[in-house]
Structure 1
């Protein structure tokens, strides 16, 4: 999966209608809605501000008054075909007085986004994992050092009968983090994957002795 390094735009004109395509990195739906509202304010005379979003496993396709399925959905399919994630696609349309028909609209909105993406710099998406780990007090210092070495982030610490750490790392680093803690704690590590659809939970068995 890929996201975009920065915002890019492109303008095409079809039968005197102007289509301003825009693609940009967006993390969530709330931010996308703010951006769409900003575009509406910047283009008060536009006939439509259509948009599509792929972010955080959620999608949206909005036709904004165009015939159903002729704007938002085609734009969304372009994002999916390009294997994009965390990206908002918008098209501002200024109506030129000539109707394009359903097929013409699909082509226009598809082309507006495709043309913008030709200029875009794609960057790989590195999935993050949010973990909650419960481990003995004796392993806390080691866990903190390991987290720092792996460029992870310590989000929360709680102390009771054990130490509970809430951490965030890239997916590959998270596997390394868990395996090293598993070995150090010899089976006394419990963990929950907080961002999984179904949280996975320990304890993790210690590595076998050889």
Structure 2
């Protein structure tokens, strides 16, 4: 498992990663060594502009691709991502053609989970391994480059990054897009246009949220 070089000097990789890596060697885990640090590899700290925090990878083999809320190109949309796209259509009038959010990451959206590994069929099983320290350290590192827009969906994300957003950052906190909670404040929150309005006000390029991964690859 190669470390994302732009982030490799974080204390997590010195203090916590060796023990986690040793535990992973004995398990058949997801999303696997080639994708575990995909979010950090696609969005170096100086490029990060937006933070979206998830919980852990999808536990169905072949679904997770190392980015929060994102799935591989051939995977049907999970229920939370369906709701995210439904809100985007209401907000922007359009949504991506598939569930791979790599095009967000390449535009500076840091799509981190608080746990970067999971066992097949066992959601949350590695949640107490110390992965959460990486999320906080990575966000703090990205903040050193510029103000950030935080999209924090649900109590888990809000608690995980508590105390990190600063007055100069944009913070959008709502219910989680899960079908169990989306109607309690997620729908109608218009996070995508709000982030883009904030970026434009700062003289920055907006995020092309609806760009499909197939179009991004061309």
- Specify the TM-score bucket, using the shorter chain as the normaliser: under 0.3
Q: In terms of Rg, which structure is larger?
A: 1
Give the structure with the higher percent strand.
1
- Scaled by the length of structure 1, the TM-score of the pair is 0.26
Higher relative contact order (CA 8 A, sep 6+): 2
What TM-score results when the alignment is normalised by the length of structure 2?
0.25
